[in-house]
Structure 1
Amino acid sequence: MQHELPFSQACENNQAAIFEVLKTALVHSRRLLEIGSGTGQHSVYLAPRLPQLIWQTSDLAENHAGIRAWHAAHGAANLRAPLEFDLASSPWPGDATEAAFDAVFTSNTCHIVAWPLVQRMFELTGTHLPEGGVFAIYGPFNYGGRFTSDSNRAFDAWLRQRDPASGLRDFEQILALAEKHGLQLVQDQAMPANNRTLVFHKTQLR
Structure 2
Amino acid sequence: MANEDQDGRRYAPAVDRNRGPILSVLRDVMPTPGTILETASGSGQHAAWFAPEFPEHRWVPSDFDPDNLISIDAWCRQAGAANVLATRVLDAGAKDWPVADIAADLVAVSSVNMIHISPWEAGLGLLAAAGRLLPANGILFLYGPYLRDGQPATESDAEFDQSLKARDPSWGLRDLDQVIAAAKVHGLELSQQVAMPVGNLSLIFRPKPG
What TM-score, normalized by structure 2, do the two folds share? Answer: 0.91
3-state DSSP of counterpart to 1:92: coil
Structural mapping, 1:100-119, within 5 Å:
100-119=105-124
Note the alpha carbon deviations across 1:139-170, whole angstroms, 9 max, x for none.
Answer: 00011111110000000000000000000000
Identity rate, percent = 35
Return closer, same or farther for 1:80/1:97 CA change in 2, 3 Å cut-off: closer
1:6 pairs with 2:7: no
Once superposed, which parts of structure 1, at least 4 consecutive aligned residues long, lie more than 4 Å away? Answer: 1-4
Are the counterparts in 2 of residues 40 and 67 from structure 1 also a CA contact under 8 Å? yes
Amino acid at match of 1:117: A
CA deviation profile, 1:18-43 (whole Å, cap 9, x unmatched) = 00000011042421100111000001
In the alignment, what sits opposite 1:40?
44
Q: Deviations over 1:69-117 (max 9, x none)?
A: 1112112121122111112436222244773312100000010111111
Q: How many residues align?
A: 205
Query: In structure 2, how many angstroms separate the alpha carbons of the residues matched to 1:17 and 1:179?
Result: 26
CA deviation map 1:105-145 (0-9, x unaligned)? 00000101111111111111101111121100010001111
RMSD: 1.8
Residues 76 and 112 (structure 1), Cα distance of their counterparts in 2 relative to 1, 3 Å cut: same
Structure 2 residue 46 is the aligned partner of structure 1 residue 50: no
Cα distance 1:22–1:148, how it changes in 2: closer, same or farther (>3 A)? same
Aligned partner letter, 1:50: F
Deviation, 1:62, is 1.8
Q: State how far apart, in whole Å, the 2-side matches of 1:90 and 1:56 are.
A: 19
Query: Is the contact between residue 32 and residue 107 of structure 2 (CA under 8 Å) also seen in structure 1?
Result: no
Please tell me the residue identity of whatever aligns with 1:198: L
Structure 2: 5+ residue stretches without partners: none
Q: Give a deviation string over 1:167-196, Cα, whole Å, max 9, x none.
A: 000000000011111111111111112111
- Mapped to 2, the partners of 1:196 and 1:71 lie a distance apart of 26
**In 1, Cα distance between the equivalents of 2:79 and 2:91?**
25
Query: Are 2:60 and 2:84, in contact at CA under 8 Å, matched by a contact in 1?
Result: yes
SS at 1:200's partner residue? strand
Q: Which residue of 1 aligns with 2:143?
A: 138
1:151 aligns with 2:156: yes
* Residues 132 and 203 in structure 1, CA contact (< 8 A), matched pair in contact too: no
Q: Which residue of 2 aligns with 1:175?
A: 180
| 1:84 is the counterpart of 2:89 | yes
Change (3 A) 1:48 1:180: same
Aligned to 1:165: 170
